[in-house]
Every structure is written in C-alpha cells, then in structure tokens.
Amino acid sequence: MRKRFGAAIAMVTVAALVTAACSPAPDESSQSSTPAAAGSSAQGSAAASGGGSSSEPYRIVQLIGQNQPGAGALNAKAAVQAATAAVAVLNANGGVLGHKVELEIIDDGGDPTQAVTKLQQRLSSGEKPNLILPGNTSAEALPMAPIITEAGILSVQQASADALDDPAKYPYFFKTPPVPASWAQSLAEYAKKNGATKIAMIAGKDAFGQATAEATRVALKDAGLQLVGDETYAAEDLDMTAQLERLKATNPDLLFMQGAGSPIGYVLESREKIGWTDVPLIADSTASVTSLLNQPAPDGLVGTDQAKNVSVQVLAAAVEGSPGANPGAMEKMLAALKAVGPINLPLNVYFAYDAVMLAAKAAEETNTITDAAAQAKWLETVTPDTEGLWALTKYTFTAESHGPAVDTSQVEIIPATTLVDGQYPKS
C-alpha cells in the first residue's frame, strides 16, 4: 500500500515537469509575452484610448512562484499558463482598447518576502503596469496588497484571504475563485440532500485549511447539521490514524477532508488501514487538484480501494459539457490553454485567465487603461448577467465586497474520477 502511494506522489513531480514545458525556464526571473495584435478589439471597441496612443501596450505583471519547492509550483505554472492564454486571446482580437497586451512574469519563489522585494523593484524601475496578478496564494498577495494599493494599480487575483475582499482597505483588489462560504454551503446542501446529518471533518493547520474549516463549521450549523468530530493535521504528519480513529468513534454519516498534496494520500491511506471506507468522504476543492484524486493508478488513486466512496468538490465549469460563464467563452479558453501546453490540472487553478478578462472588460467599459479607480467602480457593478470573455464562473461584486458573492450553483460534488484536459466526464 505504501509503495503504491509513493508512486502516486512521485507522479506529482512528473506532472510538474510536464507543466514546466509551457513556462519560463528555472533560471529566468521574468519573461514577456507580446503576441502581435490583430483584428477588432476584444470586447467591443477598436479605438485606442485610455491614457496613451495605441503604440503604448497594456502591461500585465504577474508575480508567481513557479520555481518554488513542493506542490505549489504546479498551481503557479498553471496560473502562468492561464494568463498567457488570456493574453493570446485578447491580442488575437485587437488587444485592450487597441493596445497590445504584454505579460511580464516575475518569479517570486512563492515566498512573501521575495514577492514584496521584487514588486517594489519592478514598480521603481519600469513602466507602470495596468494590471498586477499578485501571486497564487494569500501568503504572497497579502503583503503585496498595500504596495499595489498605494501605487493605484488594478489587481485581480486568486488568493483566498477574506481581508483582500475589503474595498475600504484595498479598493483596487478583486478576487476570482468562489469564496470559502460557497464551497462550505455546497457541502451542507449535499449532506442534506443525501440524508447525512452528522458530519466529521479533518483539515490542515495552515491558514487556508483553517479558513475552510471555519466556513464549514458555520455552514453546517446554519443548515442544522451536527459537526460531531473536528480534527487537524500538520503538514509534516505522515500518518493520520489517530485522528481518523477519533473521528470514526463519533459515528458520522459523512467525512469531510480538506487538504492538498501528500497529506491527502496519508489521510486516504490511514482511512483504508482502519477499515473506514464504508463512510462517504468528501474532499475539498484543493484536494481535487492533486493527481491522487484525478488520475487512475499508478499515477493516482482513482479506482483503487483508497479512493473507494470518495467524492470531490469541483468547480462546475470543470465538469465536461459545462457552458461556462459566458456563451462560447469556455471553448475559447480551452483552445487557448491547449495552445500554450497540456491542461494537467482541474480548471479551478486557471483563474488567472478570468482575472485578465475581467480587467480587460473593465478597461473597455470605462474607456481607460490607466484609471484603476474608474475600473474598480465598474467592476463593482458586475453581476452574473454581465457578458465578457471570462469562462470559469459567474461573478457578482459590490461596493461592500470585492470577493465574489456566495453562489453554490458554481460548484459541484462528484465522485473522484479521471481528469481529461482540465475537465471531469459528465456523470
């Protein structure tokens, strides 16, 4: 059993190497992507305007830890792939307000200190960006937020920290992924629909894990469901038997697991070891990213005893046949991603694509590529009915919150199954 799990973990590294083929080489600290502009404007305007002539590019700076150690590099490389694909789509349609779009990638190693240092260096030494994509995690984005705000630059990002949603503190920051409450409420709805009233939970001790756990506690309480067991694990834990034995003793109807990377494997391995595969296990959206739960053996665990009775929370758009957020946008996104490289991960890690498209739409609607305040005010009017090129989910932003409104229709819970080109087969 340990041997099979070890092989599955090894494949995460292989997948990272495959993804790296479409990303900057490890010794590159930055890279520009500047495809030629052609045709009409991406979202309805062919006129060059908004703070300069058409020869002035629309500059996007993405600070990201592609070369960081561990599984985080996988997500970072996917974010670069997503931003690169979005830039290609925009430039193929005339850029933004007639301005060619340029993408500059700065590797911050996934380290908050490096992120801040490199951001400050970039802002003091180059032309002012029109959009900043600040890292792939809250740890990177949070320390960069005050600097970006002071510089008056629009930022659309995929970090999960609730603090970044506050317009009073960070007026130019907007978030793309569903907020934790959306995932938590979907779990509560799933439990009630399937007759589960007693829920047990195991989550990581890190900040994201505990944010997810707290949202889950609130959602279960509001739904009138009982949380009968609540356990945590540390990143260095190699055996979860003790925690799972305690959870099993509470006799729950359903087990919820939050996690990413190798800890997921150790939870599933320990679960099988104590003979507890008869109780349904729901893995959170971060767990769904790991190849253990989206690839068959020997690359993953799909179809094995360890994945028996396991389901995963996924973005609704990641289920094959999903129409996406806007007509035709999903097909365009998938084609653009494939043109850059293989789509090795679920689509919920490619939110940088939507981030670029939301920012481009804001520039088009306000007729400016430089006025972040005007663009932010327009983004506060976005609703699920707003048309654009974003594909992954529908958005509702307000003047009170720049995190997407809770919308459980945008997420699903499906049996663990094999991922193909970023999507799961329709059941």
Tokens encoding 66: 């592609």
Segment 192-250, tens digit of pLDDT: 999 999 999 999 998 788 889 999 999 999 999 999 999 999 988 999 999 999 999 99
Domain boundaries, the chain: 2-179+323-405, 180-316
* 202 neighbors 244 (Cβ within 8 angstroms): yes
* 102 neighbors 46 (Cβ within 8 angstroms): no
Tokens encoding 210: 């505990």
Fold of domain 2-179+323-405: Rossmann fold (3.40.50)
* Global pTM value: 0.84
Tokens 């080489």 correspond to 25
Options 3.10.129.10, 1.10.3720.10, 3.40.50.2300, 3.40.50.2000; which CATH number does 180-316 get? 3.40.50.2300
Q: What does the alpha-carbon distance between residue 84 and residue 79 come to, in Å, rounded to a whole number?
A: 9
Strands of 87-191, DSSP E: 101-107, 131-134, 154-157, 173-175
- Say if residue 86's pLDDT is above 60: yes
Segment 17-76, tens digit of pLDDT: 333 333 333 333 344 443 333 333 334 333 444 555 568 999 999 999 988 877 788 889
Asked if domains 2-179+323-405 and 180-316 share a fold, the reply is: yes
Identity of the amino acid at 224 = G
Element (H, E) at 121: helix 112-125
Segment 89-131, tens digit of pLDDT: 999 999 999 999 999 999 999 999 999 999 999 999 989 999 9
Segment 137-177, tens digit of pLDDT: 888 999 999 999 999 999 998 887 888 999 999 999 999 99
Q: In what order do the strands lie in the sheet with 30-33?
A: 30-33, 101-107, 58-64, 131-134, 154-157, 173-175
